[in-house]
Amino acid sequence: MGCGDIGQAVAEFLQPFAVELTGIASQARQQAPFSKVLAMGALAAQLASADYVVNLLPDTPATQNIYDAKAFAAMQASAVFINAGRGVAVVDADLVSALQQQQIASAVIDVCRQEPLPAGHMFWGAPNLLLTGHSSAPTQPALMAQLFIDNLQRFNNGERLHGAVDFARGY
């Protein structure tokens, strides 16, 4: 879920494994290597068929609390939920409940509503939940320098910049 630069990179990484890649974005569109990219309104229907749900959505009013009890109940009992997008997309108590009730198999959480996660937070004791330290994409200085050089050339050519933020859209 989320087909921007990070979602695109994840999809390209997964493509050789012959998995069906369905994306969810603000608007439906054709975007390789996804077999289809659907609009946000299709999320609920897609959750039922997903083996892995990878959230890479930005923090916008439309994406806050999007993964709630109803969303987790729609997922397969064998589904793995991965959140490397924004912590506010997940209702924490609903995720823990889904894990406890075995509505989903497991979860990997890289981002949380509150960071660092307090010692008494419910995620620490949740079954089948792996917490990572908001480290899904460490920044490499050489890559950042190359991005700057590329964007400088794009700017000089009047082209769209990579990683530009559209404040009206929230990402």
Q: Quick one: CATH architecture of 5-138?
A: 3-Layer(aba) Sandwich (3.40)
Predicted structure pTM score: 0.80
Predicted local confidence at residue 171, as pLDDT: 63
Are 123 and 106 a contacting pair, CB within 8 Å? no
Predicted local confidence at residue 4, as pLDDT: 87
Q: What is the residue extent of each domain of the chain?
A: 5-138, 139-171
Which residues 6+ apart lie within 8 Å of 36 measured at CB? 22, 23, 28
Task: Name the catalytic one among 113, 121, 134, 154.
Answer: 134
Predicted local confidence at residue 91, as pLDDT: 98
Predicted local confidence at residue 137, as pLDDT: 59
Task: Name the catalytic one among 20, 115, 162, 169.
Answer: 115
Are 24 and 42 a contacting pair, CB within 8 Å? yes
Predicted local confidence at residue 79, as pLDDT: 98
20 is catalytic: no
115 is catalytic: yes
Extract the runs of DSSP E, i.e. beta strands, from 26-150. Answer: 36-39, 52-55, 80-83, 106-109, 129-131
Predicted local confidence at residue 95, as pLDDT: 98
**Rounded Cα gap, residues 162 and 147, in angstroms:** 8
Please state, for a pLDDT cut of 70, what percent of the chain lies above it: 93
State whether the Cα torsion 49-93-82-36 is positive or negative.
positive
The ranges of the chain with pLDDT < 50 are none
12 is catalytic: no
Predicted local confidence at residue 136, as pLDDT: 56
